[in-house]
Amino acid sequence: MQFTAEMIAGLLNGTVVGDKSATVSTVSSIDGGKAGALAYLTNPKYEQYIYTTEASIVLVDNTFEPKQEVKTTLIKVENVGMCVLNLLEMYNAARPRKSGISKLASISEGATVGDDCYIGDFTVVEQGATIGRNVQLYPQCYVGDNVTIGEGTKIYPGVKIYEGCIVGKNCILHSGVVIGADGFGFAPKEDGTFAKIPQLGNVIIEDNVELGANTCIDRAKTDSTIIRQGVKLDNLIQIGHNVEIGANTVMSAQVGIAGTSKVGSNCFVAGQVGVADHVTIGNEVKIGSKTGIDKNVGDGEIRFGYPALPGMQYHRSFAIFRQLPDMAAKLREVEKRLAKLEE
């Protein structure tokens, strides 16, 4: 689909500076913009590219004043970031949607499939499963016995959802996600071997959750592992059995949450964070990359490092321990001088 600068300005309540008839059919970054693309300037450090970009149209803030000639058409708007989000959502909604149920899919007679669903090649839907309206199941997905998937959810190729698990409405599960594998539970025996502890619970994923590729969420030993509404998990995240993640919490790649821990709502957890078992993390907590959490964290607190320290304490400590090599050298010099004085 093509849009003119005048049409876009009308949609965004913006003002055109330049050719109102300039057309675009795609979106790009400002430094990689090509003819026919809509670019945007949200970060002042990229301003240099607005004078050289080949993008046909660039969105800028109302306050932007060029320091030299601009060849492209500008659209001035109140909030560039929000306008870009709105345009991307519109563009995504206009993309063709897959439909129909493949003859190569295997759907149990005891399963329920809602209207307007797409089910791709070699996808398996087992006995008692309930697939809501407008669900998209891409090829090679597995939906186990008595699984429930809410309407409007999109599940990409290769996702596996074990028996009894529940996925809410309007969720997105990217390729390789595994929901409901057994929790890591083993009891040591006298002979040094381990007895497997049955994992009899399930996983509940509430509405509007997005799970990145190859993320795994284990079923509970009893009761449920719960991912609350609005949670966004990146790729390669491990959520242990009986964990609960609060609403609208965001986690970056390679985070690991051990069994029976709880993370509050509206938290931000950066990449490669590890959380020990039976730990409680409050609401609106921020945790820096590679931090190890082995103790409870209160609401609104910040943690860095391993073992984790409060934010300002960590930064003060870092200012000291990065100087330790120089301090050690000075200490050795003092020791040498002291030895000579003692002689």
Tell me how far apart the alpha carbons of residues 122 and 106 are, in angstroms, rounded to a whole number. 7
Q: Half-sphere exposure of residue 301, counting CA atoms within 13 Å on the CB side?
A: 18
Please tell me whether residue 334 adopts helix, strand or coil conformation: helix
* Burial tier of 214 (Cβ tally within 10 Å: 0-12, 13-18, 19+): middle
Of 279, 287, 235, whose CA–CA distance to 257 is shortest? 279
Tell me how far apart the alpha carbons of residues 78 and 112 are, in angstroms, rounded to a whole number. 47
Residue with the two structure tokens 């876009």? 8
The helix or strand, by DSSP H or E, that contains position 333, with its residue range, turns out to be helix 324-342
**Tokens matching residue 308:** 């984790």
Tell me how far apart the alpha carbons of residues 119 and 103 are, in angstroms, rounded to a whole number. 9
Is 315 marked active-site?
no
Tell me how far apart the alpha carbons of residues 58 and 192 are, in angstroms, rounded to a whole number. 66
Planar angle of CA 4, 9, 14, nearest 5 degrees: 155
Tell me how far apart the alpha carbons of residues 153 and 141 are, in angstroms, rounded to a whole number. 13
The helix or strand, by DSSP H or E, that contains position 119, with its residue range, turns out to be strand 118-119
**Contact by Cβ (8 Å): 299, 282:** yes
**Tokens matching residue 282:** 């409050």
**Contact by Cβ (8 Å): 236, 256:** no
Amino acid at 173: L
* Burial tier of 285 (Cβ tally within 10 Å: 0-12, 13-18, 19+): buried
Q: Half-sphere exposure of residue 70, counting CA atoms within 13 Å on the CB side?
A: 22
Q: Which residues are catalytic?
A: 241
